[in-house]
Structure 1
């Protein structure tokens, strides 16, 4: 009788491909921050002023969006 009151284990677990608002925002921000940081470091190492930073931010945004769409496409 107590078994009928327990929630189903499969219904409470999130699938690996689930996407919610917080994961979308964090994925987009992380991509822009990481690749923007790499661009900033390249600017510092090569003594440019603002060449690789915007390229890195746009590259990070594009790759993040690609990962997001790939995750949504495999969603059941």
Structure 2
């Protein structure tokens, strides 16, 4: 009995994996910026300290890049 190679074990993907990654990476980045920026905007509106908006946007971008790294970078 012979061992199967890596290419034989994996089914053909016809480029769908790349297309999924191409759509999910910008989606992670955009949603992280919008969600955390929105939370920063709400905190700024509630507290009157407008520094929360850029902090939320930057935090959202950093966390989104970290999620992309966890999913695709390893």
TM-score relative to the length of structure 2:
0.71
Moved over 6 A (4+): none
| CA RMSD after TM alignment | 2.0
How many angstroms apart in 1 are the aligned matches of 2:12 and 2:53? 44
Structure 2 runs not aligned, ≥5 long: 1-10
Structure 1 runs not aligned, ≥5 long: 1-9
How many angstroms apart in 1 are the aligned matches of 2:72 and 2:37? 25
Which structure shows the higher helix fraction?
A: 2
TM-score relative to the length of structure 1:
0.69
Aligned length: 61
